[in-house]
């Protein structure tokens, strides 16, 4: 398997403070990684580097075999899928869900006067169906619920058939039902052999979809633990990452953690 992402001794320093500090991490093309850590641990910063939206202060970031700083980042970004609340904020409220997904093929936000070919139109409907959005296809993005928005942004990010899909807290702020429906979809997507390598940031072990294979735990910008999910997600590593003792349980591939009294 080939590396789709490799960080070698990466530090990211702002105001003389290391936000990421000596991070070594590699993602292979058949792996699905969860990035777990407390608020301020550096998770979003890590994704910014992985999506070529920023550069490390020290060390190297290689994305899809290209080294940041030596590659046309616009070409590289076309090969990545990325969904976050920040990318959602850039979507015009009156954009329809169908156009939101369709325009990803042309790396634009908001439909202008492009001519779209039949392949893109057919693929858009396939992706909308896959993320349970067909009934909402003609609705405006600004009218969607949080859960529908999250699904729509993920649909947009997979439209281009990316080689690496990065999701920043896809289930944050969802109600229980919406979260569970999204986790089922992410789980199905993660288990499909035709899906790209995935990296998903979360704060909660309850939000890890079955099918994810690896775990990176971050604290204060440093890697606390990294490796196969079942071996890495332990009570000891949770305590080291979040700073208090937990009771961890797992059932049918779903994890839960509560603080020990």
Q: Is there binding between residue 196 and ligand ATP (CB under 6 A)?
A: no
DSSP codes, 94-137? T-BHHHHHHGGGGT-SS--S----HHHHHHHHHHHHHTT-GGGT
Q: Is there binding between residue 219 and ligand ATP (CB under 6 A)?
A: no
Among 5, 34, 42, 225, binds ligand ATP (CB under 6 A): 42
N-terminal to C-terminal alpha carbon distance within the chain: 43
Q: Is there binding between residue 37 and ligand ATP (CB under 6 A)?
A: yes
Among 31, 45, 124, 224, binds ligand ATP (CB under 6 A): 45
CB of 240 to ligand ATP, least distance (A): 16
E strand or H helix at 231: helix 229-232
For ligand ATP, give the closer residue by CB, 36 or 152: 36
Q: Which of the 8 DSSP states describes residue 196?
A: P
Q: Give the total residue count for the chain.
A: 261
Torsion of CA 35, 4, 49, 43, to 10 degrees: 0
Binding-site size, ligand ATP (CB under 6 A): 12
For ligand ATP, give the closer residue by CB, 43 or 150: 43
Instruction: Find out whether 201 and 44 touch, Cβ atoms under 8 Å.
Output: yes
Stretch that binds ligand ATP, among 11-19, 59-67, 112-120, 232-240 (CB under 6 A): 11-19
User: Can you give the binding site for ligand ATP, defined by CB under 6 A?
Assistant: 14-15, 19, 37, 39-45, 203
């Amino acid at each position: 398997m080939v590396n789709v992402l490799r960080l070698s001794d990466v530090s990211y320093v702002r105001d003389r403070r290391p936000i990421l500090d000596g991070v070594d991490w590699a993602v292979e093309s058949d792996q699905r990684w969860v990035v777990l850590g407390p608020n301020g641990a550096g998770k979003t910063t890590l994704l910014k580097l992985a999506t070529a939206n920023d550069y490390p202060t020290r060390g190297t970031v290689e994305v899809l075999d290209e080294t940041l700083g030596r590659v046309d980042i616009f070409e590289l970004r076309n090969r990545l899928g990325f969904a976050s609340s920040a990318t959602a904020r850039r979507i015009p409220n009156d954009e329809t869900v169908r156009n939101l997904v369709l325009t990803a093929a042309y790396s634009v936000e908001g439909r202008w006067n492009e001519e779209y070919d039949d392949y893109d139109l057919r693929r858009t409907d396939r992706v909308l169906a896959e993320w349970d959005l067909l009934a909402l296809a003609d609705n405006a993005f600004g009218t969607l619920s949080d859960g529908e928005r999250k699904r729509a942004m993920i649909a947009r990010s997979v439209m281009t058939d990316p080689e690496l899909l990065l999701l920043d807290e896809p289930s944050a702020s969802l109600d229980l039902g919406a979260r569970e429906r999204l986790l089922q979809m992410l789980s199905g997507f993660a288990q499909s052999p035709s899906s790209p390598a995935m990296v998903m940031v979360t704060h909660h072990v309850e939000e890890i979809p079955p099918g994810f294979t690896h775990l990176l735990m971050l604290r204060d910008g440093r890697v606390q633990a990294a490796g196969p999910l079942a071996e890495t997600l332990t009570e000891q590593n949770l305590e080291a990452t979040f700073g208090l003792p937990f009771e961890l349980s797992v059932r049918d591939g779903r994890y839960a953690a509560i603080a020990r009294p």
